[in-house]
Structure 1
Amino acid sequence: MPPLFRHTALLALILSPITAWAQSPMTAAEFEAYATGKTLTYAQDGAIFGTEQYLPNRRVRWAFTAQECQEGHWYEADGQICFVYESEADPQCWAFWQEGGRLRARFAGDPEGTELAEVEQSRAPLACAGPDVGV
Protein backbone atom coordinates (compact mmCIF):
# COMPACT_ATOMS: atom_id res chain seq x y z
CA MET A 1 0.00 0.00 0.00
CA PRO A 2 1.53 3.39 -0.99
CA PRO A 3 2.40 5.65 2.00
CA LEU A 4 0.01 8.43 0.89
CA PHE A 5 -2.89 5.99 0.72
CA ARG A 6 -2.06 4.61 4.19
CA HIS A 7 -2.00 8.12 5.65
CA THR A 8 -5.26 9.06 3.93
CA ALA A 9 -6.94 5.86 5.12
CA LEU A 10 -5.67 6.40 8.67
CA LEU A 11 -6.89 10.01 8.67
CA ALA A 12 -10.34 8.91 7.42
CA LEU A 13 -10.50 6.28 10.17
CA ILE A 14 -9.57 8.84 12.83
CA LEU A 15 -11.99 11.51 11.57
CA SER A 16 -15.03 9.30 10.96
CA PRO A 17 -16.11 9.27 14.64
CA ILE A 18 -15.53 13.03 14.83
CA THR A 19 -17.69 13.62 11.74
CA ALA A 20 -20.46 11.38 13.09
CA TRP A 21 -20.30 13.13 16.46
CA ALA A 22 -20.41 16.57 14.83
CA GLN A 23 -23.73 15.70 13.21
CA SER A 24 -25.41 14.17 16.26
CA PRO A 25 -28.77 15.87 16.76
CA MET A 26 -28.92 18.34 19.62
CA THR A 27 -31.07 17.54 22.63
CA ALA A 28 -33.73 20.01 23.73
CA ALA A 29 -31.44 21.18 26.56
CA GLU A 30 -28.53 21.74 24.15
CA PHE A 31 -30.74 23.56 21.66
CA GLU A 32 -32.27 25.73 24.37
CA ALA A 33 -28.85 26.63 25.80
CA TYR A 34 -27.53 27.56 22.34
CA ALA A 35 -30.50 29.47 20.94
CA THR A 36 -32.33 31.22 23.80
CA GLY A 37 -31.77 34.96 23.72
CA LYS A 38 -30.53 34.95 20.13
CA THR A 39 -31.99 35.90 16.79
CA LEU A 40 -30.70 33.51 14.12
CA THR A 41 -30.89 33.91 10.36
CA TYR A 42 -30.96 30.75 8.26
CA ALA A 43 -30.11 30.13 4.61
CA GLN A 44 -30.98 27.30 2.24
CA ASP A 45 -28.55 26.64 -0.59
CA GLY A 46 -26.94 30.04 0.01
CA ALA A 47 -30.18 32.08 -0.12
CA ILE A 48 -31.67 33.62 3.02
CA PHE A 49 -34.65 31.52 4.10
CA GLY A 50 -35.83 33.31 7.25
CA THR A 51 -35.02 34.53 10.74
CA GLU A 52 -36.12 33.31 14.15
CA GLN A 53 -35.88 34.92 17.57
CA TYR A 54 -35.62 32.45 20.45
CA LEU A 55 -37.35 33.82 23.51
CA PRO A 56 -37.49 32.51 27.11
CA ASN A 57 -39.81 29.60 27.95
CA ARG A 58 -39.31 28.02 24.53
CA ARG A 59 -41.24 30.73 22.73
CA VAL A 60 -40.22 31.87 19.25
CA ARG A 61 -40.87 34.58 16.71
CA TRP A 62 -40.29 33.55 13.07
CA ALA A 63 -40.39 35.38 9.75
CA PHE A 64 -39.68 34.17 6.26
CA THR A 65 -37.70 36.83 4.43
CA ALA A 66 -39.86 39.95 3.84
CA GLN A 67 -42.96 38.47 5.49
CA GLU A 68 -44.85 39.14 8.72
CA CYS A 69 -43.66 37.55 11.93
CA GLN A 70 -45.37 34.54 13.42
CA GLU A 71 -45.44 33.79 17.13
CA GLY A 72 -45.01 30.24 18.31
CA HIS A 73 -43.29 27.81 20.64
CA TRP A 74 -41.07 24.74 20.38
CA TYR A 75 -40.80 21.39 22.12
CA GLU A 76 -38.83 18.17 21.78
CA ALA A 77 -40.47 15.07 20.27
CA ASP A 78 -38.70 11.86 19.27
CA GLY A 79 -35.29 13.55 19.38
CA GLN A 80 -36.36 16.44 17.15
CA ILE A 81 -37.16 20.07 17.84
CA CYS A 82 -40.75 20.80 16.79
CA PHE A 83 -42.23 24.24 16.24
CA VAL A 84 -45.90 25.23 16.31
CA TYR A 85 -46.88 28.70 15.06
CA GLU A 86 -50.08 30.68 15.45
CA SER A 87 -50.85 30.40 11.73
CA GLU A 88 -49.99 26.69 11.36
CA ALA A 89 -51.53 24.00 13.58
CA ASP A 90 -49.23 21.20 12.37
CA PRO A 91 -45.84 21.02 14.06
CA GLN A 92 -42.74 21.60 11.94
CA CYS A 93 -40.03 19.25 13.25
CA TRP A 94 -36.30 19.56 12.63
CA ALA A 95 -33.09 17.82 13.65
CA PHE A 96 -30.53 20.44 14.72
CA TRP A 97 -26.79 19.98 15.10
CA GLN A 98 -23.74 22.20 15.32
CA GLU A 99 -21.20 22.35 12.55
CA GLY A 100 -18.32 24.81 12.60
CA GLY A 101 -19.80 26.64 15.59
CA ARG A 102 -23.11 27.28 13.80
CA LEU A 103 -26.47 25.51 13.68
CA ARG A 104 -27.61 23.32 10.83
CA ALA A 105 -31.12 21.89 10.61
CA ARG A 106 -32.77 19.17 8.55
CA PHE A 107 -36.55 19.12 8.12
CA ALA A 108 -38.13 15.86 9.32
CA GLY A 109 -40.00 13.68 6.89
CA ASP A 110 -38.86 15.60 3.82
CA PRO A 111 -37.72 13.28 1.03
CA GLU A 112 -35.92 16.23 -0.58
CA GLY A 113 -33.88 16.69 2.59
CA THR A 114 -34.53 20.38 3.19
CA GLU A 115 -31.53 21.64 5.13
CA LEU A 116 -30.91 25.07 6.61
CA ALA A 117 -27.66 26.64 7.83
CA GLU A 118 -27.28 29.43 10.37
CA VAL A 119 -25.61 32.35 8.61
CA GLU A 120 -26.03 35.16 11.12
CA GLN A 121 -26.84 35.65 14.78
CA SER A 122 -27.50 38.61 17.01
CA ARG A 123 -28.99 39.52 20.36
CA ALA A 124 -31.26 42.14 18.77
CA PRO A 125 -34.99 41.39 18.56
CA LEU A 126 -36.44 40.31 15.24
CA ALA A 127 -37.68 43.33 13.27
CA CYS A 128 -41.26 42.44 12.42
CA ALA A 129 -43.27 44.05 9.67
CA GLY A 130 -46.88 44.42 10.67
CA PRO A 131 -49.98 44.00 8.56
CA ASP A 132 -51.19 47.08 6.71
CA VAL A 133 -48.01 49.09 7.44
CA GLY A 134 -48.16 52.37 5.55
CA VAL A 135 -51.82 51.94 4.60
Structure 2
Amino acid sequence: MRSLCSILSLVLCGGVLHGEMAQAGAALSADQFDRYTQGRTLFYGFDGVPYGVERYLPNRRVIWSFLDGQCQNGEWYPQANQICFIYDEIGAPQCWEFSISDKGLIAQFEGDPEATELYEADELGEEMLCLGPKIGV
Protein backbone atom coordinates (compact mmCIF):
# COMPACT_ATOMS: atom_id res chain seq x y z
CA MET A 1 0.00 0.00 0.00
CA ARG A 2 2.84 2.39 0.87
CA SER A 3 4.47 1.92 -2.55
CA LEU A 4 1.11 2.54 -4.28
CA CYS A 5 0.79 5.85 -2.38
CA SER A 6 4.33 6.81 -3.42
CA ILE A 7 3.66 6.03 -7.06
CA LEU A 8 0.33 7.88 -6.92
CA SER A 9 1.98 10.97 -5.42
CA LEU A 10 4.59 10.99 -8.21
CA VAL A 11 1.87 10.78 -10.86
CA LEU A 12 -0.30 13.48 -9.26
CA CYS A 13 2.62 15.84 -8.69
CA GLY A 14 4.06 15.50 -12.17
CA GLY A 15 7.16 13.63 -11.10
CA VAL A 16 10.35 14.62 -9.40
CA LEU A 17 12.01 17.80 -10.62
CA HIS A 18 15.66 17.07 -9.78
CA GLY A 19 14.91 16.18 -6.18
CA GLU A 20 11.99 18.58 -5.69
CA MET A 21 8.34 17.80 -6.21
CA ALA A 22 6.61 19.94 -8.82
CA GLN A 23 2.84 20.12 -8.79
CA ALA A 24 1.37 19.19 -12.18
CA GLY A 25 0.20 22.28 -14.03
CA ALA A 26 1.73 24.76 -11.58
CA ALA A 27 4.09 27.38 -12.99
CA LEU A 28 7.74 26.52 -12.39
CA SER A 29 9.82 28.90 -10.33
CA ALA A 30 13.03 30.26 -11.84
CA ASP A 31 15.05 27.83 -9.69
CA GLN A 32 12.94 24.85 -10.77
CA PHE A 33 13.19 25.88 -14.42
CA ASP A 34 16.97 26.32 -14.15
CA ARG A 35 17.47 22.92 -12.48
CA TYR A 36 15.33 21.20 -15.12
CA THR A 37 16.91 22.84 -18.17
CA GLN A 38 20.54 23.76 -17.43
CA GLY A 39 23.00 21.75 -19.49
CA ARG A 40 20.26 20.28 -21.69
CA THR A 41 19.19 20.78 -25.28
CA LEU A 42 15.41 20.52 -25.57
CA PHE A 43 13.34 20.17 -28.70
CA TYR A 44 9.87 21.73 -28.65
CA GLY A 45 6.78 20.81 -30.63
CA PHE A 46 3.60 22.69 -31.55
CA ASP A 47 0.41 21.02 -32.83
CA GLY A 48 2.21 17.73 -33.46
CA VAL A 49 5.13 19.12 -35.49
CA PRO A 50 8.68 20.11 -34.51
CA TYR A 51 8.84 23.82 -33.67
CA GLY A 52 12.31 24.64 -32.35
CA VAL A 53 15.23 23.70 -30.18
CA GLU A 54 16.92 25.48 -27.28
CA ARG A 55 20.23 24.79 -25.57
CA TYR A 56 20.35 25.89 -21.91
CA LEU A 57 23.77 27.06 -20.75
CA PRO A 58 25.13 28.19 -17.37
CA ASN A 59 24.31 31.69 -16.07
CA ARG A 60 20.87 31.67 -17.72
CA ARG A 61 22.31 31.85 -21.24
CA VAL A 62 20.48 30.11 -24.12
CA ILE A 63 20.77 29.39 -27.82
CA TRP A 64 17.48 29.09 -29.78
CA SER A 65 16.77 27.86 -33.31
CA PHE A 66 13.57 27.29 -35.29
CA LEU A 67 15.33 24.17 -36.66
CA ASP A 68 16.48 26.16 -39.69
CA GLY A 69 20.18 26.39 -38.77
CA GLN A 70 19.83 30.06 -37.78
CA CYS A 71 20.59 30.36 -34.08
CA GLN A 72 19.88 33.19 -31.67
CA ASN A 73 22.02 33.73 -28.57
CA GLY A 74 20.15 35.03 -25.59
CA GLU A 75 19.45 34.86 -21.91
CA TRP A 76 16.46 34.32 -19.69
CA TYR A 77 15.21 35.95 -16.51
CA PRO A 78 12.22 35.46 -14.22
CA GLN A 79 9.33 37.91 -14.24
CA ALA A 80 6.43 37.15 -11.89
CA ASN A 81 5.49 33.51 -12.68
CA GLN A 82 6.98 33.61 -16.19
CA ILE A 83 10.39 33.01 -17.72
CA CYS A 84 11.33 35.74 -20.22
CA PHE A 85 13.87 35.31 -22.98
CA ILE A 86 15.71 38.10 -24.72
CA TYR A 87 17.81 37.30 -27.77
CA ASP A 88 20.66 39.28 -29.31
CA GLU A 89 18.83 39.89 -32.58
CA ILE A 90 15.27 40.20 -31.23
CA GLY A 91 14.75 43.27 -29.06
CA ALA A 92 11.46 42.44 -27.34
CA PRO A 93 11.37 39.89 -24.51
CA GLN A 94 9.45 36.67 -25.15
CA CYS A 95 7.77 35.58 -21.89
CA TRP A 96 6.45 32.09 -21.23
CA GLU A 97 4.86 30.32 -18.29
CA PHE A 98 6.48 26.90 -17.88
CA SER A 99 4.92 23.94 -16.15
CA ILE A 100 5.78 20.27 -16.04
CA SER A 101 3.67 17.36 -17.19
CA ASP A 102 4.29 13.63 -17.21
CA LYS A 103 5.85 14.13 -20.68
CA GLY A 104 8.08 17.11 -19.90
CA LEU A 105 7.90 20.88 -20.09
CA ILE A 106 4.87 22.79 -21.28
CA ALA A 107 5.41 26.43 -22.31
CA GLN A 108 2.41 28.76 -22.53
CA PHE A 109 3.17 32.09 -24.25
CA GLU A 110 2.63 34.90 -21.75
CA GLY A 111 0.66 32.45 -19.60
CA ASP A 112 -2.36 32.99 -21.89
CA PRO A 113 -4.37 29.78 -22.46
CA GLU A 114 -5.47 31.15 -25.85
CA ALA A 115 -1.88 31.78 -27.00
CA THR A 116 0.78 29.45 -28.37
CA GLU A 117 1.54 26.39 -26.27
CA LEU A 118 4.77 24.49 -26.87
CA TYR A 119 5.65 21.15 -25.36
CA GLU A 120 8.89 19.30 -24.85
CA ALA A 121 9.14 16.93 -27.80
CA ASP A 122 10.65 13.49 -27.84
CA GLU A 123 14.20 13.25 -29.08
CA LEU A 124 14.13 13.90 -32.81
CA GLY A 125 17.34 11.98 -33.44
CA GLU A 126 19.11 15.10 -34.64
CA GLU A 127 21.57 17.56 -33.20
CA MET A 128 21.05 21.28 -32.81
CA LEU A 129 22.46 22.80 -35.98
CA CYS A 130 23.80 26.36 -36.03
CA LEU A 131 25.14 27.50 -39.39
CA GLY A 132 27.73 30.24 -39.60
CA PRO A 133 26.97 33.84 -40.56
CA LYS A 134 25.73 34.55 -44.07
CA ILE A 135 28.57 35.60 -46.34
CA GLY A 136 28.25 37.55 -49.58
CA VAL A 137 25.93 40.18 -50.97
Structure 2 unaligned segments of length 5 or more: list them: 1-11, 14-22
* Letter matched to residue 87 of structure 1: E
Alpha-carbon deviations, 1:72-100, whole Å to 9, x = none?
00000011000000111111000001101
- Cα distance, 1:118–1:57 mapped onto 2, change above 3 Å: same
Matches within 5 A, 1:94-133: 94-108=96-110, 112-120=114-122, 126-132=128-134
Report how many residues are paired. Answer: 119
- For the 8 Å contact 2:30–2:83, the answer to whether it is kept is yes
How much identity, in percent, do the aligned residues show? 44
TM-score when normalising by structure 2: 0.75
Structure 1 unaligned segments of length 5 or more: list them: 1-17
- For the 8 Å contact 2:44–2:120, the answer to whether it is kept is yes
Q: Once superposed, what is the RMSD of the aligned Cα atoms?
A: 2.9
Q: Comparing both structures, which one devotes a greater share of its residues to helix?
A: 1
Instruction: Identify the structure with bigger relative contact order (alpha carbons < 8 Å, sequence gap 6+).
Output: 1
- Cα distance, 1:70–1:130 mapped onto 2, change above 3 Å: same
Aligned with 2:128: secondary structure? coil
* Letter matched to residue 82 of structure 1: C
Q: Give the deviation of 1:126 after TM superposition.
A: 3.1
Q: Does 1:93 align with 2:102?
A: no
Matches within 5 A, 1:37-48: 37-48=39-50
